[in-house]
Amino acid sequence: MALDFDLTRNAAASFEADCVVVGAFADNTLTPAGKALDEASGGRLARLLSRGDASGKTGRTALLHDIDGISAPRVLVVGLGEAGKFGAAQYLKAVADAARALKTGPVAHALFTLADTPVQGHDAAWAVRQAAIAADHACYRYTATLGKDNKAREGEPGLRRLSVAAAGDDADTALAQGQAIAAGVKFARELGNLPPNVCNPAYLADQAREFTGRFDNTSVEVLEDAEMEKLGMGSLLAVARGSANRPRLIAMKYNGAGDDSQPYVLVGKGLTFDTGGINLKVQGGIEEMKFDMCGGATVMGTFVAAVGMKLPVNLVTIVAAVENMPDADAYRPSDVLTSMSGKTIEVGNTDAEGRLVLCDALTWSQKFKPAALIDVATLTGACMVALGKYASGLMSKDDELSAELLAAGEQSFDRAWRLPLWDEYQTMLESSFADVYNIGGRWAGAITAGCFLARFTEGQRWAHLDIAGSGSDEGKRGMATGRPVGLLSQWLIDRSAG
């Protein structure tokens, strides 16, 4: 269930809610709203902090009850850490800590006041927007495939509504943007978390049709085997050969600019399950390969966010939805494939399938004459080795586009890190039997994957985001994160403002 949000400028002490959320720093000083509550209570909050009943240390929360002078029956004090180091990471953690503390229990409606606290490097509108995104993310529950007893937990008490205390003319816009981005993140997470026996290529196409059918300025185009065969997509179709679940190439279109301006085009890898093919994944982790479509899920989530924000841009979101399975008709190592571009590809490893799917999708995407072309993919374990879970890998030969994406990542705190895409790395993809080999060897695996895609985007203002680390968490309790919906949404906000 998504949180409901609204904006208020009313005084916290007299606000009617089940709980008021305030912050305290490590030196026991309170945020502005916290000071107002402390004054209304005759110094009660300060006394509770000084004797240790609440704490300003990072990660601490304390739920206080029935404070005289405060209308709400509860006050949640959230630790913010050192006052001089209160930046984006600390703020987002505090929002998530507060939401998780109230996610279950008797508090259905809370007043959130932390957006009144200055965050280093960011304005108040940013704090409002990110409060909606971070709180909704923290309160996310997956229930789609739970049994009826567990699914019944949806009806249990818990946080349902968050009123955000904020001033300023742009607070309303910021909150609306935050809600739209939160909806996009949730859309992406839900697709990523669904099991592969539910979320297959046809399901993704159905979800695209359902969403675009809600609006007059959105539409969808779905290609199936026969159309892709006519277009010469021999690379994408080779990956799909071993699966009973037939592929789909999905293009969601949003006309937000109201004119014929060039669209921004996002292309997502949608491997709804990746066994590795004939190079079967035997090293472990195959059970997490339902997340191999998180690139596709996040570009669809970004589309949802852009439509929700009513951004004045034109946007095309393309998802190459395929399942990679081994059977008697599966493609093999040493096969030579002919891509839509006409370039031939020698298969060195059938588990390097994402780039084989993306290369045809990227070639097809150029019919839309993109103002900028960005692909998003859980492409290489090598990127996760290099950057871990915190940063997405960014590769591009366009310095300006790279700078735009890096800046959007910093602004949204959905960060990326640029890796080189030098021509010297291209030599690692040489083949004696085709125009290009689909793997580059042991070293620089994330970069050579980017170099492979670069061969199919010549002449385009293009960037590649590898989200193998950032797109999902690990382990049997791990879930899709919804990244980089935040980064891409911020990038589109910036483009619409420009």
Residue numbers annotated as active site: 281, 355
- How close are the terminal C-alpha atoms of the chain, in Å? 35
Nearest to 138 by CA among 415, 485, 482: 482
Q: What CA dihedral angle connects 95, 96, 99 and 101, to 10 degrees?
A: -110
Tokens 């083949």 belong to which residue?
431
- Calculate the CA 190 to chain-centre distance: 11
Q: How far apart are CA 181 and CA 159, in angstroms?
A: 19
Residue listed under structure tokens 């997470």: 189
The Cα 183–Cα 459 span in angstroms is: 34
Nearest to 168 by CA among 222, 209, 129: 129
How distant, in Å, are the alpha carbons of 150, 290, 295 from that of 146? 6, 17, 25
Handedness of CA 96, 101, 105, 107 (dihedral sign): negative
The span from the CA of 159 to the CA of 107, in Å, is: 6
Could you tell me if residue 406 is left (phi over 0), alpha (psi between -120 and 50 degrees) or otherwise beta? alpha
Distance separating alpha carbons of residues 294 and 296, to the nearest angstrom: 5
- Residue 76 tokens, joined: 């949640």
Nearest to residue 370, comparing CAs of 378, 362, 379, 380?
A: 362
| Contact between 242 and 329 (Cβ < 8 Å) | yes
What span, in angstroms and rounded, lies between the C-alpha atoms of 257 and 220? 17
93 token code pair: 């953690």
Do the strands 264-274 and 248-255 form a parallel or antiparallel pair, or are they unpaired?
A: unpaired
Query: At 248, is the secondary structure helix, strand, or coil?
Result: strand
Which CA distances in Å does 478 have to 189, 200, 470, 482? 11, 20, 12, 12
Sheet holding 4-8, edge to edge: 4-8, 161-165, 109-112, 19-24, 74-79, 61-65
